[in-house]
Amino acid sequence: MKLTDNVLRSFRVAKVFRENSDKINCFDFSPNGETVISSSDDDSIVLYDCQEGKPKRTLYSKKYGVDLIRYTHAANTVVYSSNKIDDTIRYLSLHDNKYIRYFPGHAKRVVALSMSPVDDTFISGSLDKTIRLWDLRSPNCQGLMHLQGKPVCSFDPEGLIFAAGVNSEMVKLYDLRSFDKGPFATFKMQYDRTCEWTGLKFSNDGKLILISTNGGFIRLIDAFKGAVLHTFGGYNNSKAVTLEASFTPDSQFIMIGSEDGKIHVWNGESGMKVAVLDGKHTGPITCLQFNPKFMTFASACSNMAFWLPTIDD
C-alpha cells in the first residue's frame, strides 16, 4: 500500500490509550516498527506493542524524570534525558529496568537528542548552548561544540553528517568524522522573533530538512542548498507549545499536530495541505510520528492514539 493524498485523508484513530496522568513529552518507534516507547511528565515510561495495539509495560523514573526518549540499536535499550535533579542522559535496559550507563556533562536541560541511524553514536543539544557527541560504550563525551544559543540537532539518515539549528536562524551541517573543524555548510534563515526553533529532522531520503517552531508555522528546506522550499502554517499554536512535526517514511508528506487536537498534513512537493485529521485529543498534540515500517502513525497529548487508514487506495 502506497501513501497517497486519499490514503492520508482516510486515517482514523483506531485506539486510544490513557496510561498517563500528565503530558507525553516524547515517544519513539523501534527501528522495526513493532513497538513504541513513550516518556511523560508523570515520570513514566510506557512500552506499547504496535502489532497487538496494547501497552506492554510501564517503568518509572521518579527521581530524575524522563524526557526525549530514544531507542538505541540494541534490543530493549533506550537513552533519555532527565527533567528533574540533573541534566545527565541515562542509558536504560528495559529488560531488567537497570541503568547501563550515565552520560554526565550538560549543565542545563537537554532539549535535543538524536541517535545515529547506523551505530552507537548519539548527539545531544542543551540550553547550556552546547552540542555533545557521545558513544553508548563510554560515559565520556566524545566531542563538544559551543554555540551562541539554544541548539536543535539531528543526524542525517546515513549517519554521516548531522545538522545543528542555532539561535533559531541558521542551520549548520557537520561531517561526523571531522566536526571539530567546524561546519562544511551554513544556511542562514530569516529570523522570526515571534517564535523559536524546537526541532529539526531529515527526511528519510536525506534531501529535506524540516524545522519545527513553537509558533504557527514549520519550514521545509533543501538539505543541500538550504533554500526554503515551503513554509507550512494554518494550524493552532497560540500558546507557544512545542509541537512535533514529522515526515512520512516515504519523505513525501509532512505532518504536525496542533493545540486543538487536530493533525495537519501537507504534500512536501506541492506544498498543498492534503488533510486535517481530528484526533479528538484533549490537549495539544505534542508528539506525532509515523511508524517506520507499517501503515500507521501515533499521536499524543496525555493520551496516546494509534491511527490506521480506512481505505485501500
DSSP letters spanning 157-185: TTSSEEEEEETTTEEEEEEGGGGGG--SE
| Cα separations in angstroms, 277 against 16, 155, 257 | 15, 29, 9
Locate the domains of the chain by residue range: 5-309
- For the beta sheet containing 287-290, the strands, ordered from the edge strand earlier in sequence to the opposite edge, are 12-17, 304-308, 297-300, 287-290
User: Of 5-9, 65-69, 107-111, which gets the smallest average pLDDT?
Assistant: 65-69
pLDDT at 80: 86
7-49 per-position pLDDT tens digit: 999 999 999 999 988 999 999 999 999 999 999 999 989 999 9
Q: According to the model, what pLDDT value does residue 230 have?
A: 96
| CA end-to-end span of the chain | 7
Name the DSSP letter for residue 151: E
The domain made up of 5-309 is a member of CATH 2.60.40.10: no
Q: How many CB atoms lie within 10 A of CB 191?
A: 9
Instruction: Write out pLDDT tens, residues 274-292.
Output: 999 998 898 999 999 999 9
What's the whole-model pTM score? 0.93
Mean pLDDT, residues 222-227: 95
pLDDT digits over 159-174, tens only? 999 999 998 999 999 9
How far apart, in whole angstroms, are the C-alpha atoms of residue 54 and residue 276? 26
Side chain identity at residue 233, one-letter code = G
Per-residue pLDDT of 230-263, as tens digits, reads 999 999 898 888 999 999 999 999 999 999 999 9
**Picking from 60-69, 268-277, 288-297, which range would have the lowest pLDDT averaged per residue?**
60-69
> What are the residues whose beta carbons fall under 8 Å from the beta carbon of 149, sequence distance 6 or more?
129, 166, 167, 168
Residue 58 backbone phi and psi in degrees, to 5? -130, 130
Query: Which residues, including other chains, have CB under 8 Å from residue 203's CB and lie 6 or more apart?
Result: 157, 209, 210, 223, 247, 251, 268
Question: Which runs of E-coded beta strand occur in 176-279?
Answer: 185-188, 197-202, 208-213, 217-222, 228-233, 245-247, 253-257, 262-267, 273-278
Average pLDDT in the 116-145 region? 93
Give me the mean pLDDT over the 44-66 stretch: 89
pLDDT given at position 313: 64
Has residue 206 got a pLDDT over 90?
Answer: yes
Q: Which amino acid is at 216?
A: G
